Amino acid sequence: MNMLIAEYDYDVDIAVQREEEREIALQEGIVQGEAKGFSLGIAQGKLEGISEGSYKAKLETAKLMKHTNCKRDFIMQMTGLTKEEVESIS
């Protein structure tokens, strides 16, 4: 009957508990890190989209101004576009 009863070892028990706690903490950290990374990615994507949309609006405004014969310097001043950007608009 003694063969069926395992001897309890406190140190081993504590070591196993600590390892389990480390694994749980690691998994929680991974989940939190993924969530934070996802949120940051969404925010960065929105900012890039807004920036790109703003630039396209400037190009469209410059195009309209160019078609109404506004001078290049005036177009640059009003839109913030460079000389090269304004000249490349057809």
Nearest alpha carbon to residue 61 among 81, 87, 83: 81
Q: pLDDT by residue (tens digit) across 15-63?
A: 999 999 999 999 999 999 999 999 999 999 999 999 999 999 999 999 9
- Predicted pLDDT at 2: 52
* C-alpha dihedral (6, 8, 11, 15), degrees to nearest 10: 60
Residue 76 has pLDDT above 60, yes or no: yes
Residue 68 has pLDDT above 70, yes or no: yes
- Predicted pLDDT at 5: 62
